[in-house]
């Protein structure tokens, strides 16, 4: 054995492909939307009632067709997970 030759120490990355190319998980490349979609909702938030209200003055949760169309009426009153149900 040649004493002048240094022993190769493995750094754990023996795969050449991982050293040449940045490995990125699938979800980071494809799962995020390209931009934010601007949605128009037929209701507005009433801070006095802490409810989303329709233009005619009814609470948005009282309209079953609206709930079927949008899925839920999430308010922005303090929390993004506060539901008006």
pLDDT in tens, the chain (85 residues): 555 655 555 555 555 544 566 676 666 667 666 666 677 778 888 999 888 899 999 998 898 888 888 776 555 555 555 555 4
The Cα-based distances of 55 to 9, 33, 39, 58, 60 in angstroms read 71, 31, 17, 7, 9
Domain ranges of the chain: 33-85
With beta carbons less than 8 A apart as the criterion, state whether 36 and 65 touch.
no
Residues 38 and 53: their CA atoms lie apart, in Å, by 19
- pTM for this entry: 0.41
Q: Which of 73, 62, 85, 63 is nearest to 39 (CA)?
A: 73
pLDDT at 10: 54
Q: Which of 69, 44, 70, 71 is nearest to 59 (CA)?
A: 44
């Amino acid at each position: 054995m040649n004493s002048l030759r240094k022993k190769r120490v493995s750094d754990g990355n023996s795969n050449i492909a991982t050293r040449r190319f940045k490995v990125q998980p699938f979800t980071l490349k494809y799962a995020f939307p390209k931009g934010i979609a601007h949605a128009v909702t037929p209701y507005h938030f009433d801070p006095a009632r802490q409810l989303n209200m329709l233009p005619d003055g009814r609470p948005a949760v009282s309209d079953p067709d609206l709930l079927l169309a949008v899925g839920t009426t999430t308010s922005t009153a303090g929390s993004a997970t506060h539901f008006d149900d």
